[in-house]
Structures are given as structure tokens and as C-alpha cells.
Chain A
Amino acid sequence: MLALAPDDSSRRAAATLGRPAPWDGTGAAGDLVWGLCAGSAKNPYQVIVELDGPAFKCSCPSRKFPCKHALGLLLLWSAGTVPDLREPSDYARAWHESRREKAERASAAADAAGAGQKDTAAAARRAAERAQRAASGLDDLQEWLRDQVRVGLAAAATAPAASQAAATVAGPADMAARMVDAQAPGVAGTLRGLSGLARSAALGLPVRAAGGAGVRGAGTDQAGPAAADGAAGWPARLLAEYAMLHLLTRAHERLDALPDGLAAVVRSRVGYPVSRDDVLARPAVTGRWLVTAVRELTDGTVPGRRIWLRDDGTGQWAMLLTYAAPGGAWQDPRTARLRPGTEVHADLHYYPGQPPLRAVPGSRHGEPVAAKPPAAPDGLDGMLAGWADGVARDPWLTYWPALLTGTPLPPGRLAEAGAGPAGCGADPRRWYLADQEGNALPLADRESLWTLLAVSGGQPVTVAGEWHPDGLAVLTAWHGDEAVTL
């Protein structure tokens, strides 16, 4: 919520105002939240927030947007201290209506402009130019990748510039910049994630990492490609990532020959844009979508979140990806209220690609409601089978949704439990999740694992999260009917 704040001082001020004391006449109805806040003026400020935007209105003179009062009101609302009312107050309704009229006028104007018919020929030309630019950029990348293994990963990272051919001097970060120019932002992001790994090479870190714990925090939480081969040392991880980029360049060369689904995967990994309208034009999948887990993405330049949804009836998964917009709001405000354990009856439209995961929400058939705890669909084996199937269709896949029942085991406990051959191959420094069928998977190391253990009480517990090849990140655990965010 505080991520919406324009600056630090607003954030602090909002934290003080997010308390019931200075507020009066607060209420919420539908997407509107309003209240009167005692401030420095004679009359209290009228503060209104429309959650479906979010849009803010406050009668205070502050030039910051949103102002601290609006943020405070949001905090108050999120703490559950704003009563739900049937009708908005008069000032809130007036503002809401004027806002809606404005929006209608604007969309009418946009329709008029659209009627002018975009030049489809020009659009096609732009697309061709873009493909051309990407192809040439990826050619450069392919050559650069080959140079890395020709010169040697160690030498490429450490050797002084003078002794190298110009092409190999560039590090992953330089290459990332080149990929931005080539309009291949997907590849650029991957390369940026690798520059840290390449730096560890430059620092002469040991070739074998200290162990699974070596990727603690940064690696597992960013869930970036660099984390995907956890326990291995940096050369192995770097080679794996370079190889996957190399595979992408080779696939892009024969884009036209690939089956449609795979071609769409390659385009999305390279970073071809897909407009939201195009996605919304794809067939709708209606379902009662349970929010199983929300992954906060904090490592990027903008905060974002991955919201995992599952329809219990069909077993279908979906993932909504949303980022903070420059103004501080979520780009897709309708996702802001999707918290783990809630269910929403809505249409989703999947992005092109396989397996279908990423989606955007279409029409909604009801407000999000608290849902019963889900039943885990299958064991660890079943989840891994789904993952393997996913990798077969998208080799660049690095995470996969998980909804499982299992018992968390703190470090060292798996070895205790498994007498004889069982339990061998387990890392005694890692947490595991064990299921009833005698299988266990390592867990990504996070401080909240202790909360998971507390919720489990040493018994099987239903959890949801993301599977990465180096461990399962548990993001939600059900404690009775309550979905606990970890």
C-alpha cells in the first residue's frame, strides 16, 4: 500500500495518519472509500479514494499526489477499520459521478480517434522493422555467447580489456544494453540478472558454491534465471544461462518454421510486445479463481507481483503479472485486492504461448470473496510431472505453480527421518517438504519458513507457492480456514 506513496516523507506521514484517531465519518461502499480527516485547516479534509484506479481526491492543499491523507485512509481501510456502508457519502458520490462522466467523455473521444482507422500497413511495417532489429541484435548476442565459451568463462570475466578482442570485452550488462536497443527486453532482463553472476566470476569466487545455502535470499527470492541451478558454482550456472540464451537465439532464427505455440513462447521470451487489447480479444476462460499465492517481486527496478490463480473445478492455473505504475498505483488496479485465500468469479484471457499461464483479467462476475481452503490436487510427484511437461513445451520456464500437502522439515530432519537409503541425497543444511508418499523436495530458504513450521505443527499442511528447479518457495500456508501469507 505504501508503495503508492510519492516519497518517503509522505510514507511516514501516511503511517501516522493510518490510525483511527484523526478520522471521522469513514466509510466504504463498492470501490469507494471516504472519510474526514482532522488537519491543520479549520474544516476537516474530505478524502476520497476510488480503489478501482486507484484514484485519489482530497481537499487538502498538498501538491503531492497521492497526498498523505489519501494514503492514510487506504492504510486505515486495509487494516479493516473502515466500516462497509451501503451508500457513499454525498461528497464522495459527487466526485465519483463527475469522474465517471469525464471518463466517458474521454473514451468517446478515443473511439472517435480510433474510427480514423489505424494504418494497418504502417503497423505491419513497424512489426517487420522490429523483427529485423531483434534478429540482428540476437545475431550479435549469438556471436558474443560463442566468444564467451571460446575465450573461457573465467578469462572473459576477468581479463583486462586490452588483451581481448572488442566483442568479448563487453560484459552481460553491456550486452543487455545492446538488447534494449534491439528491442529484445526479455533477453536484456535475463542478461542484467546475469551480471551479478559474472561479477562473482571476476572476483575469483570458488568454482563450487558453498552449498545450497549459498543462494539464500537474493538467488531464490528474485527467482530469476540465475537462481535456477542453485547449488552449482558460478561457472555451471553461467554456462547454463548462456546455453539457454543461445538456444533462444537459435530458435529465433527459425521462428517461422516453429509450431505456433513454441513460436509464441520464443517471441515472449525475446520480449515482443503483446498489447493488452490483443490478449483481451483472445477467448475468455471463466472460472472461480482462487488466489493461491502472491509473489512480491522486489528485485527489479519497479516493484511487481505475480498472482497465482487456480480454478478448483478444472484444475487450471493462471498467473497475473502486475507492476507498479509510475504514479505509484498498480498498473492493473483490479489485482490489488486479490489476496491469498480469496476467490473471484471472473473471465481470464491467456497470453499466447504454451503452457498457458500468464493471463489478464476480463469481466468479473462478482467481488472477491473469502474462500474455503483448497484441497491439494496431487503429490510432489504430480507437481513435478506437471513441471516437466511445462518445460517440454517451454524450455525457458523457470518457475511453476504448486499447491501441495506436506510436512515441512527443518534442516537436518530429513536425514533423521530417513533410515538407510532413504534420505540420502538430501542436503542437511536445507529445509524440505515431505509428502505422505515418501517424497521430499527442498524449500527455498526464507525466514518465514519458521512460520510455516509453526502453522504445520509438525503435521501435513496445505501450502501454495512457486516451484523453482532449486527449491520450492512456499508463499501461502492454510491455518484452518485462514490463508497465512509467508
Chain B
Amino acid sequence: MTTGVSFDDLVTVATVGVSRKGFSVSELAGPAAGNAGATDAADPAAALLDAAALLTVARRAGVRPVPCAARAATGGAAGQPRGARSERELPATAARLLRRLGHADQAPGFAAGDAGLVADLLGAVRDAGCVASAPLLPELLAAAARTRALRPAVVPVLGERGRWLAAQRPDWRRAVTQETAGRTDDGGPGGDGAGVSAAEQEIWRTGDRDERRGLLASLRRRDAAAGRELLAAGWAKETGEDRAALLGMLAHGLSAADEEFLEAALDDRAGPVRDTARRLLGRLPGSAFRGRAAHRAAGVLRAERHAGRGRLVVTVPGDPDEAAVRDGLSTTSPVPGIGPWAWRLIQVLAAVPLAGWTARLGPPPAEIVRLPVANDLALYVRAGWRHAAVRHRGSAAELSEWVLALLEADSETRVNWPQGAWVSDTALAAMLPATARAERAAALLAAARVDDGMGAYALSAEVAGIPAPWPAALAGAVISVLARSVARPVLPPLPRALLGSAARCLPADGAVDYAAELTLLAGTCPRDWSALLYGAAETVALRRAFLAELR
């Protein structure tokens, strides 16, 4: 043997067994060569182990680095040099508080259940002009990849470093690209000026659906016509799913110039494409689509004098014709318990903005909603109006008048229709401006009984929907609900349902220290549930500390 025994040779012999294969060593490979004589001459098994030990030590001690191009070490391989020093990083103390509030301090990763709270905190980071600190980025990106709801909060605080990091991992990159696609401000794949750059053409041809959506969105914001033309050019070759996903991007920079294309999409083979086209056409003032809807609605509802008082008379629409079906009216009711004729009425009313009725019928919304309706059809009319209120935006002042009137009209009745037919109070109230919404919620809380289990659910959902931080009136109302409950031996349903959102949404930066108020209440309530109040107080206190760090 001229090259000497290698370690692999020894492994082969040892695996099969010296007793079967036999072994003798004369020379050893590599740096151990000089020591072959040190091996045991008497026992081949010992000799093998001796040789293996020599070669193992030689190999461990002789580990060499892998040669690489020097530019690998200066960022050339992992991307462009990063670390823009102009961006202000979240202070380390604030980062620690964020991890604690998101329960990322005990086990790695932000818990999905804390997504709302974490999103609020990240919003504050963005508003303070900070970006997430580097050690925090992987956990934030992992959370964004896992929890879609967190993406709008995570992406704006990534900063240059975070965007670079996200590009290093497919799952993170996808989460960020998808989010960028849906956003209205700057971002998305490169390119500027009018027209489609070569790089964009390439992405459009080879990218996945999310990348193409992102590209189309950014192109639409820059040059709406070019975006529409790009989509139209390959329209026939796209799959139904792609057509629906891409068509939705026309929402960016939507204008009358898009009407023709959208109108054609009403005849698309794929249902989702037709739905998207209807949604977009409905938002286009002066479109033929809206004209047709207004025409259909005009024949359905008229005001008249009856027995000396005003009332509304409904002409139930007949079976929809072909054009009406094309515009989205269905012949059968998808909602159990609602007959076809009632469904037709609701649909026709839902298709036109409420502002039209104010103009057509004369009196202000509050009076219109109060008018009696012939043949006991009032509930169906209001059902249609509720749909119209959440579907069409318009003048905010007029819309909120309508919403308040509709909420008032059914405040006493509890309508038990299925979800698809009746827009809930919560969804309707969400159309109000934030202050009006908070005032309404505060009034409801002030009137609510703390142990009404059914009401607690709906009311707490409504309160939780009001964006943080809550206005003082609402915060006060929530605290007062808790104060009304401290004498109870068990925590009643309403405060129990409110506590979670209270911890997250009570103002944490104003003159009133709600953490102190909660702690005070916790000191007076029964021990069995004081921990819940202490927990909420702690969350508010940590949020206060966090916001203070940002200033």
C-alpha cells in the first residue's frame, strides 16, 4: 500500500469486523504518517483503534477554512451593503417591552393571539419614525409570515435592513410582497416613470401571482392606463383565478377610463371575475352600471301621502331580466328564510348609494327611515338600506346620518335574520366616523346591564372594533362598567368580554393613567378575579412604558 491507510479504510474494516476482514497497518495517510509505528503490533483490533485515534486527532486538529472570494465578506454575496444609519432603530428597552407584551420573552416568537396588540405597538413605532431593531426582525418577519393580520403593521417598520432580510427567505419575501401589493403608498417592485420597464415585463411574465399583483398595483398607481393595457394584453390567456386576483388591482387609480374594460369583464366565464368587476363598477361614479342600478331602484320605492301622512310604497321587483342578472342580481335567495321576492327587493336597494334616496324622497335620512312602509315591508327596506350603507362610500356626513337613523330604527327590535341578509349593528356602526362610533359605544355601555350574557357578546365585539386608543368618553365608560362589577363575586360577562380589548385599547399616553385605575379596581374586587384586572393593568402599564420609550 503506497498511499497509506485512510480513515475511511479503517471505518470499512471496523464496520465489518477485524475478525472477519483482518487488519494490519504499515503506513498511515496524511499528517499521521510519521506515527504508524506507534500502533499496537500484537493485537490487530488495538492496532486499528490506535490508527483511528491518530487519524481522528490529525483530522480534527487540521480543519481548514473553506476558501471564498473576499467580497463574500463585504456583503457582495448576501446582497448590497445594508444598515442605513439614517433610520432610527427602536431603543433596546422598547424592544424588550414589545417582546414582553407579545409574549415573545418566555417562548420564542410572537403569539398569534397577541397580533392585535403587537400591530398597535408597531403602528406607534412607525408613527414615531422608528424602524424595528435588528435583533427583533426575524421574529417580526416570522410572525408576519404566519399571521396575515400582522403584515400591514410589520412591513412599514422593517426599514431598509428588514426588507433586505426578508428578501433572504422565500416565506418572508412572500409575506412582504403580498402586503406591499395591497398597500396604497410607495413600495413594490422597482420601476418609475410612465410605461412598463423591462424588469417589470420579466416579473409579469415569470412571477407568481402575488408578485404580479404587486407589480400591477404599483404600475397602476404610477400609470393607470399602462397597467390596464398590460392586463388587457394577456387577459385571454390568464386563468380564472389569476384574472380575478389581477382585476382587483384596478382598484388602484380607478377611473372612468377603466369602465369599458370592467363592463366587458361582466361577461367573464369566472364568477369571481364578474363579482370583482361589479364591485369596481359600483365604485365608479357616473358609470352605466350605476345608472342601471339606479333605474331599477327608482321603480321600487316611492313616497306618497296616505291618510294625511307620508308613507313609502314598495313595488316588489319582478324576476330579474338578463341584464339585471348580468349586473349581479340573482333569481333565487341564497339566504334561508328570505323568500325570492324579498331577496330581489333587498338586492335592488343594496345596489344604489343611500345619498340617492335623500335626493329623490326629499326629507333628511332620519325622517325617511321613520316613514311607515305599506304592507309591513319596512324591515325589508331597511335591510336593503343597511347593505347599501356598508357597500357604497360617499359623503361621510350624509352616510353617518343614514347609519345613525338605521341604527336608531332597529335599536329596540332584535332582528334574527341570517348574517347574509341583515347587516349587523356592529358592521353598520363601523361606517361611522371614529368619534361618533365611540360615543355611540359609550352610550350603549352606560345603559348596559353587566350580567346580560347575550348582549355582552355583541356589545364587546362592537367596542373591540373601535380603533385604539379609545377616546376618553369610551375609556371612561369601560372603566365604569368594571367599577359597576367589582361588588360581584364572579366577574360578570360584559366586563369579562371587555377586559381583553380594554388592556389593548385604553389610552396609554394621556394624562389619565388607566393602569392605575385598573389596579385600584383590582384592589377592591374579589380575589377570585382580581388577577384578570391586574393582568389588564399590567398590559396598559407596559404599553405606557413602551410609548414613553418612543418619545
Specify the chain B residue showing the minimal Cβ separation from A432. Answer: B66
Do A21 and B519 touch across chains, with their CB atoms under 8 A apart? yes
Q: B65 at interface (Cβ–Cβ under 8 A)? A: yes
Chain A nearest CB, measured from B73 CB (Å): 4
Do A151 and B19 touch across chains, with their CB atoms under 8 A apart? yes
Q: B500 at interface (Cβ–Cβ under 8 A)? A: no
Q: A423 at interface (Cβ–Cβ under 8 A)? A: yes
CB-contact partner of A434 in B19, B20, B63, B68, under 8 A? B68
Chain B residues, Cβ within 8 Å of A38: 523
A313 vs B135: C-alpha distance when bound (angstroms)? 29
A416 vs B71: C-alpha distance when bound (angstroms)? 11
Do A422 and B15 touch across chains, with their CB atoms under 8 A apart? no
CB-contact partner of A407 in B16, B65, B75, under 8 A? B75
Q: Which of B45-99 contact A (CB under 8 A)?
A: 45-46, 48-53, 56-57, 59-83, 92-93, 96
Q: B169 at interface (Cβ–Cβ under 8 A)? A: yes
Do B83 and A239 touch across chains, with their CB atoms under 8 A apart? no
Q: Which of B488-547 contact A (CB under 8 A)?
A: 519, 522-523, 527, 531, 534-535, 537-538, 541
Do B78 and A410 touch across chains, with their CB atoms under 8 A apart? yes
- A426-B68 contact in complex given A154-B15, A236-B11, C-beta closer than 8 Å: yes
Do A417 and B48 touch across chains, with their CB atoms under 8 A apart? no
Do B60 and A416 touch across chains, with their CB atoms under 8 A apart? no
- A384-B65 contact in complex given A20-B541, A243-B53, C-beta closer than 8 Å: yes
Do A457 and B134 touch across chains, with their CB atoms under 8 A apart? yes
Q: Could you say which of B160-168, B241-249, B277-285, B355-363 contacts chain A?
A: B160-168
A22 vs B82: C-alpha distance when bound (angstroms)? 45
Specify the chain A residue showing the minimal Cβ separation from B65. Answer: A439
Chain A residues, Cβ within 8 Å of B93: 80
- A22-B534 contact in complex given A413-B78, A417-B71, A459-B83, C-beta closer than 8 Å: yes
Do A240 and B56 touch across chains, with their CB atoms under 8 A apart? yes
A439 vs B534: C-alpha distance when bound (angstroms)? 55
Q: A170 at interface (Cβ–Cβ under 8 A)? A: no
- A153-B66 contact in complex given A417-B71, A453-B165, C-beta closer than 8 Å: no
Do A152 and B14 touch across chains, with their CB atoms under 8 A apart? yes
Specify the chain B residue showing the minimal Cβ separation from A242. Answer: B49
Q: A281 at interface (Cβ–Cβ under 8 A)? A: no
Q: Which of A227-249 contact B (CB under 8 A)?
A: 228-229, 235-236, 239-240, 242-244, 246-247
Do B67 and A482 touch across chains, with their CB atoms under 8 A apart? no
A479 vs B73: C-alpha distance when bound (angstroms)? 17
A455 vs B135: C-alpha distance when bound (angstroms)? 6
Q: B137 at interface (Cβ–Cβ under 8 A)? A: yes
Q: Which of A366-397 contact B (CB under 8 A)?
A: 380-381, 384, 387-388, 391-392, 395, 397
Do B79 and A458 touch across chains, with their CB atoms under 8 A apart? yes
Tally of contacts, chain A with chain B, CB under 8 A:
240
Do B67 and A421 touch across chains, with their CB atoms under 8 A apart? yes
Q: B43 at interface (Cβ–Cβ under 8 A)? A: yes
Interface 1/0s, chain A 427-468, versus B by CB < 8 A? 000001011111111100001001101110111100000000
Chain B nearest CB, measured from A366 CB (Å): 24
Do A19 and B71 touch across chains, with their CB atoms under 8 A apart? no
Q: B17 at interface (Cβ–Cβ under 8 A)? A: yes
Q: A16 at interface (Cβ–Cβ under 8 A)? A: yes
A20 vs B96: C-alpha distance when bound (angstroms)? 15
A229 vs B75: C-alpha distance when bound (angstroms)? 30
Q: A414 at interface (Cβ–Cβ under 8 A)? A: yes
- A152-B20 contact in complex given A246-B53, A407-B72, A407-B75, C-beta closer than 8 Å: yes
CB-contact partner of A479 in B19, B59, B62, B134, under 8 A? B134
CB-contact partner of B15 in A152, A250, A397, A424, under 8 A? A152
CB-contact partner of B16 in A152, A246, A484, under 8 A? A152
Do A153 and B135 touch across chains, with their CB atoms under 8 A apart? no
Q: B7 at interface (Cβ–Cβ under 8 A)? A: yes
Chain B residues, Cβ within 8 Å of A458: 75, 78-83, 164
Chain A nearest CB, measured from B12 CB (Å): 8
Do B81 and A16 touch across chains, with their CB atoms under 8 A apart? no
CB-contact partner of A438 in B51, B70, B96, B106, under 8 A? B70
Do A380 and B65 touch across chains, with their CB atoms under 8 A apart? yes
Do A423 and B135 touch across chains, with their CB atoms under 8 A apart? no
Chain A residues, Cβ within 8 Å of B8: 236
Q: A319 at interface (Cβ–Cβ under 8 A)? A: no
Do B52 and A240 touch across chains, with their CB atoms under 8 A apart? yes
Do B14 and A239 touch across chains, with their CB atoms under 8 A apart? yes
Chain B nearest CB, measured from A6 CB (Å): 18
Q: A204 at interface (Cβ–Cβ under 8 A)? A: no
Chain A residues, Cβ within 8 Å of B64: 384
Q: Could you say which of A142-150, A213-221, A289-297, A327-335 contacts chain B?
A: A142-150
Do B68 and A479 touch across chains, with their CB atoms under 8 A apart? no
Most buried by A among B16, B20, B81, B106: B16
Do A469 and B60 touch across chains, with their CB atoms under 8 A apart? yes
Do A423 and B17 touch across chains, with their CB atoms under 8 A apart? no
Specify the chain A residue showing the minimal Cβ separation from B527. Answer: A40
Chain A residues, Cβ within 8 Å of B70: 436-438
Interface 1/0s, chain A 242-262, versus B by CB < 8 A? 111011001000000000000
Do A440 and B61 touch across chains, with their CB atoms under 8 A apart? no
Q: A336 at interface (Cβ–Cβ under 8 A)? A: no
25 A/B residue pairs, CB under 8 Å, sorted by A: A16-B535, A19-B534, A21-B519, A79-B96, A146-B46, A152-B17, A152-B20, A153-B15, A240-B52, A243-B52, A244-B56, A247-B50, A414-B72, A417-B69, A419-B69, A423-B72, A434-B72, A434-B73, A438-B69, A447-B108, A453-B168, A457-B83, A457-B164, A458-B164, A469-B60
Listed from nearest, the 6 A-B pairs whose CB atoms lie closest are A152-B17, A417-B77, A417-B72, A243-B52, A21-B534, A439-B65
